[in-house]
Amino acid sequence: MKTLIVEDETEMAKTLETSLEQSGYRVETAADFRTALDKIISFQYDCILLDIGSYKIYDEI
């Protein structure tokens, strides 16, 4: 399962990425909404984990 993590806090993103990879998931990360959109346009993910509390997401819409 291909998963995208959208998280602006580097340590949290790395923790989630490591945990999911150890469980057998293929994981990519994006630190901001614009990068996430670029990745979503170029690849179909099975799951997207989105930090909806991130101010950066709202500033970029």
Give 6-33 pLDDT, tens digit per residue. 999 999 999 999 999 999 999 999 998 8
Query: What does the alpha-carbon distance between residue 37 and residue 30 come to, in Å, rounded to a whole number?
Result: 9
pTM flag (> 0.95) = no
Query: What does the alpha-carbon distance between residue 33 and residue 37 come to, in Å, rounded to a whole number?
Result: 6
- Strand-pair category, 26-30 with 47-50: unpaired
Residue-range definition of the domain harbouring residue 52: 2-60
User: What's the pLDDT score for residue 19?
Assistant: 97
Residue 39's domain is classified under what CATH number? 3.40.50.2300
User: What's the pLDDT score for residue 53?
Assistant: 75
Domain count along the chain: 1
For the chain, the three-class secondary structure string (H helix, E strand, C coil) is CEEEEECCCHHHHHHHHHHHHHCCCEEEEECCHHHHHHHHHHCCCCEEEECCCCHHHHHHC
